[in-house]
Amino acid sequence: MQQASNDPLHGKTLEFILTELVAHFGWELLGQHIRINCFNSNPSIQSSLKFLRKTPWARKKVEDLYTSILA
């Protein structure tokens, strides 16, 4: 028997989380919540994913916003 994970991010990819946040807030408001250039200057899912995968502190901010707002 498998135990259910208590982690709200379990099974969710970074792309899924980012897409949900963009759908909920839009790029402009997301850029106000998390002040990083990839959300404010010519934003796209792919460029943001590339940055977030290389930058642990920014990824944590995205994951924390997701868990506090949408999970």
Give per-residue burial for 3-33: e unless 16+ CB within 10 Å, then b.
eeeeeeeeebebeebbeebbeebebeebbee
70 has pLDDT over 90: no
Report pTM: 0.87
Domain over 14-69 is classified CATH 1.10.720.30: yes
pLDDT one-digit tens code per residue, 44-59 = 999 999 999 999 999 9
The confidence score (pLDDT) of residue 44 equals: 96
Name every residue whose Cβ is closer than 8 Å to that of residue 63 and which is 6 or more positions away in sequence.
Answer: 9, 17
